[in-house]
Structure 1
Amino acid sequence: MAEVTLLSLPASPFAMSVKMALIEKGVEFETVEENYRASGKSELLVRVNPVTKQVPVLLHRAKPIWESLVILEYVEETWKTQGTHLLPGDGYQRALARFWTNFVITKTGLLIMKRVGDEQLKARDQVLEMIRLMDSEWSKPEYGKPFVFGDKLSLADLALAPIASWKVTFETLGKFEFPDARTCPRMALWLDAIENHPTVQSAILAPDLNLENANVIQKLIKDNKIKF
């Protein structure tokens, strides 16, 4: 096994974020994909993550690191001197970056895919409110453009960047319409920059393929056969 190995799932936004972080830091890594159509977790995943048995898991020199929020911080700290600095130099901005990274990961739009009927409508409204909130906050002077803190990706950007893969899926399966540039101009600028960033393009699952996988995953979630 490679010195750095990422246990992933093709459509996992959390794994996509970790891939982006590794690419931005210039870290060579191997990806091992879980088969979500399988009847259970792989032996490798259960062995290296016996607590939650979920991806992503980063194996660095055979030592496992769990949970995307923790992994993102680990990548930045471990390869601090190489590649893109994923936390701003200013202490206050670093605190903001950590807050938004946690905010996005813990209040993810995947709620839309995990709900049906009235619950899905409620989740959709919550995500729309999150987007409006970010649009307002990220327009303040302590932030930058086009990304959250300027012209370089940060952990906060990476946490939300998988939206470039999931946008079509949300719109199709979740009947979710993203606010346009008139409603949320700051978020529209951010999304355009994200969708065209080479690191994002190389790390995400193609939107049409993501939609195909999401159809299968949504059914597995509804049938309580998978946690995602």
Structure 2
Amino acid sequence: MRWDEQARTAVETALNESDVLGLRIGPSAAWCDLLLHVLALPETGPLDPDARRILRLNAPALVRVLLRESLPDGGFGPALPLADLAAVEEFFAGLTWSGQLYGWRFLDEPSLTADWPAEPSLTVHCGPEPGSRELYWFNECGRADGGYCIEGTVTFEELTVLRADGTPVPLAEFTADGRRYWQALADRDPRLSDTAQQAAQTGTPAWRPYTRISADRG
């Protein structure tokens, strides 16, 4: 894709308030997949009943994950060690509720990790080059034993988008569906009514068992 301010903003708009529910590295570390439930509104028709998307970060160089316990004062505890990416998957699989990726800015913004400790929970070196782009993600979530924040960064070269079954989604379509959702929300489009959103989320396939904080997103 052509990287410029407009392209960056389009991708970030499509990612805003998505649920991050998995992180996987492909064979030979050729890519790193971020598993998402996104907010996407097609040009015509109702909300997509399967809003799972794979954000594929190609040629990843460095993957970092930070897992911390949420504290009563609103802060976070120290980094909890994660042995490998299988442990990350195990953590996601144990979620009982999941938060959303909010804030609108997720690409090439070093300040988003300003509060990180010197050593995160897990660091995976995938390639020798530093990576020209960096994506930041997080999920404020919970398990039976309490609340947590899991977050991470991936440095990479290029990104593509797929559906959960591996069908490619043109990046222009991905960003347009995201932008259309937020515009429809502002316009009070009936396709985003409480009833319509609840109907779209009933039986929605999940990457891992979890419960949304709220069925109404707007």
With the length of structure 1 as denominator, give the TM-score of the two structures.
0.28
TM-score normalised per structure 2: 0.29
Q: RCO greater where, 1 or 2, for CA within 8 Å and sep 6 or more?
A: 2
Greater helix fraction, Structure 1 or Structure 2: 1
Higher strand share: 2
